[in-house]
Amino acid sequence: MPKFSAKARKIRGNGKAHGPAFIQLFHYIKRSTDYHGLSLAARALLTEIHDRYNGCNNGFIVLGVREAEYELGVSKDTVSRAGRELDDAGLARPTMVGAWRGRHATEWRLMWRRCDKTGDLPRSNWRERKPYHQLLLPKPAKVPLTDAERARRYRRSKAAVTKTVTMSTTARTRKSDHKDIGVT
């Protein structure tokens, strides 16, 4: 019988070690419209945040702007913009915003995992993007109109024009009636 639970072994670092660490990005995240709407800097920031996730620190993932600037090789403004993009897309959210005073870095949460800080459940509704091959499919052919349908549409358009002309003529006569009385 194991001395510690699986979570305790993972925290202590003596869990099963079959190989090097890796980052697992699920297909439903990768294929979502939210992910594909991100800029490259935001995708790189998401990968960096995900790299710091160890299985039991979601909501406590610490990554400040200056450290992300160094890791990604971009400016502070680009990192801030990428963080806002991640928050707007709903892929990663800051649980505690960092501040220069007191030198606190931002703590992040990955939205497709359960939050270990607050206990919030993961987000599970990801809109899937259309695959490329569906964009290449031919558009459905237009069905030609029958003579009866063409005549019906023509009569409707003529009736609408006649109705508009009649209403504008009526409006003009009403205005002229008011001019005779002296009311404008």
Same domain for 67 and 97?
Answer: yes
User: Rounded to two decimals, what is the model's pTM?
Assistant: 0.64
135 band by pLDDT with thresholds 50, 70 and 90: confident
What domain range is 153 assigned to? 145-184
Of 131, 155, 173, the position where a domain reaches its end is 131
Same domain for 74 and 150?
Answer: no
Same domain for 47 and 89?
Answer: yes
The predicted structure's pLDDT at residue 169 = 56
Same domain for 174 and 90?
Answer: no
Residue 114 in any domain: the answer is yes
Say how far apart CA 176 and CA 42 lie, in whole Å. Answer: 65
Same domain for 98 and 173?
Answer: no
Residue 48 in any domain: the answer is yes
Q: Could you tell me the CATH number of the domain that includes residue 34? A: 1.10.10.10
Say how far apart CA 147 and CA 145 lie, in whole Å. Answer: 7
- Give the sheet arrangement for strand 61-62, strand by strand: 61-62, 107-110, 92-96
Same domain for 159 and 68?
Answer: no
Residue 9 in any domain: the answer is no
pLDDT for 9 beyond 90? no
Say how far apart CA 95 and CA 87 lie, in whole Å. Answer: 11
Same domain for 33 and 62?
Answer: yes
Least confident segment among 73-77, 90-94, 123-127, 166-170: 166-170
pLDDT for 177 beyond 60? no
Say how far apart CA 184 and CA 170 lie, in whole Å. Answer: 16
Domain count, the chain: 2
The predicted structure's pLDDT at residue 79 = 95
Stretch (H or E) spanning 95: strand 92-96
Segment 83-103 shows an average pLDDT of 88
Same domain for 106 and 34?
Answer: yes
